């Protein structure tokens, strides 16, 4: 466990995001929103986006698919003392009732690159922005956060499933998902649903577009991706926040 003392703040308005999540269960924030963030830096964005080229195949896919590559990390953060720490060794577990395809087993994914988790200023700024929004939503709290860097391949011989488990929730308190790259793919439309599975919004996320959602009050799913003439891929970063107290 490596502590990071963070003084990083963002001027980006989080009150609006928090109130939209409270009112609607989700908030869509487009790339224009993050382009003007004080933590946006093209070099840092590119470094994080480029790290998706160094992911390993997810060996735990019960549908035997080889179309998903990923890395994983866990963070602990308290909005009380504002100390962030990261753990690259902690495994990932989802209950079988949350993930019918791959839940019920402890999964040891390759860790995210330490240089990215510890030092990437775009990631650090994005997370601090999210924690500021969570503080507005829930007051002072401790959060366990799982970070997921996922590439789904769309190949001429095998379509890619961004959410092979179908419409689902992650079984946490809040989630955010941001697309980093979309190369030679069609499809991959995200839909947010209420708990009765009525669709609330359809959006095809482009790089730097993000959805922030209340995982207990909405569900989500992403349609298949298909190659556009040649093999392609879609890279997404997901942070899943669980309130510990
Ligand atoms: Fe999910």
CA of residue 61 to ligand 1 center, whole Å: 15
CA of residue 156 to ligand 1 center, whole Å: 25
The pTM assigned to this predicted structure is: 0.93
CA of residue 19 to ligand 1 center, whole Å: 22
Mean pLDDT of the chain: 91
Range scoring the smallest mean pLDDT among 18-32, 40-54, 111-125: 18-32
CA of residue 220 to ligand 1 center, whole Å: 6
How many whole angstroms from its chain centre is CA 94?
Answer: 15
Q: Is residue 40 classed as helix, strand or coil in its secondary structure?
A: coil
- Parse the chain into domains and list their residue ranges: 2-243
CA of residue 124 to ligand 1 center, whole Å: 22
Among the ranges 26-40, 78-92, 158-172, 175-189, which has the highest mean pLDDT value? 175-189
CATH class of 2-243: mainly beta
CA of residue 219 to ligand 1 center, whole Å: 8
Residue 245 pLDDT: 84
CA of residue 31 to ligand 1 center, whole Å: 21
CA of residue 168 to ligand 1 center, whole Å: 6
Q: What's the rounded mean pLDDT across residues 72-92?
A: 93
**Helix, strand, coil shares, percent, the chain, to 5:** 20, 40, 40
The pLDDT of residue 4 is above 50: no
CA of residue 92 to ligand 1 center, whole Å: 13
Question: How would residue 147 be classed by pLDDT, with cut points 50, 70 and 90?
Answer: very high
Handedness of CA 36, 42, 44, 47 (dihedral sign): positive
CA of residue 53 to ligand 1 center, whole Å: 21
């Amino acid at each position: 466990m490596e502590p990071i003392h963070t003084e990083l703040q963002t001027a980006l308005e989080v009150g609006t995001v928090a109130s939209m999540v409270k009112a609607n269960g989700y908030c869509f924030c487009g790339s224009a929103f993050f382009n003007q963030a004080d933590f946006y830096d093209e070099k840092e964005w590119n470094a994080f986006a480029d790290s998706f080229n160094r992911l390993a195949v997810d060996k735990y896919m019960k549908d035997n698919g080889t179309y998903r590559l990923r890395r994983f990390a866990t963070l602990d953060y308290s909005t009380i003392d504002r100390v962030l720490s990261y753990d690259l060794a902690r495994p990932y577990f989802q209950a079988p009732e949350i993930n019918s395809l791959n839940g019920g087993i402890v999964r040891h994914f390759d860790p995210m690159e330490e240089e990215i988790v510890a030092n990437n200023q775009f990631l650090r700024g994005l997370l601090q922005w999210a924690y500021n929004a969570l503080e507005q939503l829930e007051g002072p709290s401790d959060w366990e956060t799982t970070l997921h860097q996922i590439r789904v391949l769309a190949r001429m011989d095998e379509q890619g499933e961004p959410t092979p488990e179908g419409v689902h929730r992650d079984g946490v308190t809040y989630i955010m998902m941001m697309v980093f790259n979309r190369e030679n793919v069609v499809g991959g439309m995200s839909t947010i649903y209420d708990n009765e599975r009525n669709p609330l919004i359809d959006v095809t996320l482009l790089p730097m577009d993000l959805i922030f959602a209340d995982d207990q009050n909405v569900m989500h799913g992403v349609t298949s991706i298909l190659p556009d003439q040649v093999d392609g891929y879609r890279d997404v970063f997901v942070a899943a926040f669980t309130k510990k107290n």
